């Protein structure tokens, strides 16, 4: 039986977000290998997780080393060299002041959930602020503070207040600068959401799953200043766009802010499950045994993450992502298709917003067909956005310029084919996407 059919028979739909029937047996560099041997250019990197591409020698070596003499299995009741070294490196690369600590986890979800619980407990404040469209994870606690339409059915945390994210392409109240949103937040903090009751503001420095939205210049700086005025901690969720992807080690560096807590995931492990929160000791050290799972800080995943960070620095992957990303964005703009409303991003975090017409009507069906057609043509990427109409490109940071050019060509062809009706609706029937 074909691998995809075997998957249908045994794997739970609860953990599926599928766009086309891709079934993998291997991968190397920026390429995935399908059953049957076809090679696909991966422009998603598994939503950014495979930050160094597949089967990277540095990660293979690190994992093999960690398993050849295994320093335990957990961090709870024993410490281990790889976990401590990873935490030391995270502190070294993450700007911040005073006594700080690192919490290690498995996923962006558990890291955001821990940050949420810790800021509440440590400050004694119950309220949390976040953005409409924000995706902070898929565990109960991280969903409770998210604002993504894919989680509409989830009961939100009682103290949660969501505010609009500034989208220069679809401005809130016609104001592309973000000032109207800042005024709205200030009014809330001085009124019905008293600032002194708010523990933290959760921020994505680029709103990824909400539509790969890059905030206008200065917005996050002003928001951080506003938070500081009320003693509200800023939690920067760098899970998808952090760690060299945007052309800087941290995406928040583009904004000139220094968040109180920084959350890492996805690309940190290069494909292995590991996440981290970096923040003040008064928050991350305020109690013992507060947020732990047995395999948190296990030496294998910690070694992989350390290898990822070392490779990023040694190979200057932030600079590489900046340059290849700029070339890719230029190529995408040069496609000059009227169904492309906007091309935006930083480095290798790129969004291509598809529209129906000059009124910018979101083209969700076109996005579904485009990603399907691109897979047929040999490239993998998905779409995001509250209207499901933004192609998201987060390829491995090691992507070459030639691979980027090839990717742009496939994207252009896929959009044209999809717009001209060359993708059969029946084929998409079982792929709901999101």
Ligand X SMILES: *Cc1c(COP(=O)(O)O)cnc(C)c1O
Nearer to ligand X by Cβ, of 204 and 417: the residue is: 204
Nearer to ligand X by Cβ, of 109 and 311: the residue is: 109
Q: What is the rounded (10 degree) CA torsion for 21, 151, 133, 201?
A: -130
CB-based contact 234:257 (threshold 8 Å): yes
Question: Up-side HSE of residue 369: CA atoms within 13 Å toward CB?
Answer: 21
Q: Does the annotation count 135 as an active-site position?
A: yes
The catalytic position among 135, 165, 372, 382 is 135
CA 412 – CA 327 distance, rounded (Å) = 15
C-alpha Rg value of the chain to the nearest Å: 21
Binding site for ligand X (CB under 6 A): 47, 107-109, 112, 135-138, 204, 208-209, 237, 239-240, 265-266
Q: How far is the CB of 110 from ligand X (least distance, A)?
A: 7
| DSSP state, residue 216 | P
Q: How far is the CB of 369 from ligand X (least distance, A)?
A: 24
| Residue with nearest beta carbon to ligand X | 108
Q: How far is the CB of 265 from ligand X (least distance, A)?
A: 5
CB-based contact 83:75 (threshold 8 Å): yes
Q: How far is the CB of 78 from ligand X (least distance, A)?
A: 25
Residue 410 CB partners (closer than 8 Å, separation 6+): 41, 374, 377, 378, 379
Nearer to ligand X by Cβ, of 157 and 413: the residue is: 157
CB-based contact 45:264 (threshold 8 Å): no
Nearer to ligand X by Cβ, of 212 and 374: the residue is: 212
Residue 13 CB partners (closer than 8 Å, separation 6+): none
Q: How far is the CB of 19 from ligand X (least distance, A)?
A: 16
Q: How far is the CB of 156 from ligand X (least distance, A)?
A: 16
Nearer to ligand X by Cβ, of 27 and 267: the residue is: 267
Nearer to ligand X by Cβ, of 47 and 54: the residue is: 47
Over the range 154-178, which residues count as b (16 or more CB within 10 Å of their CB) and which as e?
A: eebbebbbbbbbbbbbbbbeeeeeb
Please spell the DSSP secondary structure of 162-197, one letter per residue: EEPPP-TTS-GGG-TTSHHHHHHHHHHHTTTS-GGG
Q: How far is the CB of 228 from ligand X (least distance, A)?
A: 23
Nearer to ligand X by Cβ, of 233 and 263: the residue is: 263
Over the range 61-70, which residues count as b (16 or more CB within 10 Å of their CB) and which as e?
A: ebbeebeeee
CA 48 – CA 270 distance, rounded (Å) = 9
CA 200 – CA 368 distance, rounded (Å) = 36
Give the residue numbers annotated as catalytic, written as ranges: 135
């Amino acid at each position: 039986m074909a691998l995809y059919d075997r998957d249908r028979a045994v794997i739970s739909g609860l953990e599926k977000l599928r766009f086309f029937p891709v079934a993998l047996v291997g991968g190397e560099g920026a390429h995935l290998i399908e059953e049957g041997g076809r090679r696909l250019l991966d422009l998603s990197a598994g939503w950014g997780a495979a930050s160094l591409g597949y089967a990277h020698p540095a990660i293979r070596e690190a994992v093999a080393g960690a398993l050849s003499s295994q320093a335990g299995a957990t961090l709870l009741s024993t410490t281990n060299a790889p976990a401590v070294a990873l935490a030391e490196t995270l502190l070294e690369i993450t700007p911040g002041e005073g006594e700080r600590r690192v919490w290690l986890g498995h996923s962006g979800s558990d890291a955001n959930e821990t940050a949420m619980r810790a800021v509440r407990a440590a400050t004694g404040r119950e309220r949390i602020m976040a953005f409409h469209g924000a995706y902070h994870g898929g565990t109960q606690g991280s969903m409770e503070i998210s604002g993504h339409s894919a989680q509409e059915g989830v009961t939100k945390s009682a103290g949660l207040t969501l505010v609009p994210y500034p989208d220069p392409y679809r401005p809130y109240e016609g104001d592309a600068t973000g000032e109207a949103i800042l005024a709205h937040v200030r009014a809330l903090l001085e009124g019905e959401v008293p600032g002194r009751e708010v523990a933290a503001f959760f921020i994505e420095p680029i709103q990824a799953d909400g539509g790969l939205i890059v905030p206008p210049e200065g917005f996050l700086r002003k928001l951080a200043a506003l938070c500081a005025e009320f003693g509200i901690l800023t939690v920067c969720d760098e899970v998808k766009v952090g760690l060299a992807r945007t052309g800087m080690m941290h995406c928040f560096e583009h904004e000139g802010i220094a968040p109180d807590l920084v959350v890492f995931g996805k690309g940190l492990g290069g494909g292995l499950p590991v996440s981290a929160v970096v923040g003040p000791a008064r928050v991350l050290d305020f109690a013992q045994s507060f947020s732990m799972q047995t395999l948190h800080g296990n030496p294998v995943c910690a070694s992989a993450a350390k290898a990822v960070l070392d490779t990023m620095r040694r190979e200057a992957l932030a600079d590489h992502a900046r340059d290849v990303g700029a070339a890719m964005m230029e190529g995408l703009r040069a496609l000059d298709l009227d169904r492309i409303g906007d091309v935006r991003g930083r480095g290798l975090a790129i969004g291509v917003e598809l529209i129906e017409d000059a009124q910018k009507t979101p083209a969700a069906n076109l996005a579904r067909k485009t990603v399907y057609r691109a897979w047929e043509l040999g490239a993998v990427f998905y779409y995001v956005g509250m209207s499901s109409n933004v192609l998201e490109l987060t390829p491995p940071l090691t992507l070459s310029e030639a691979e980027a050019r090839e990717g742009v060509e496939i994207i252009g062809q896929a959009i044209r084919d999809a717009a001209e009706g060359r993708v059969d609706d029946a084929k998409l029937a079982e792929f709901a996407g999101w």
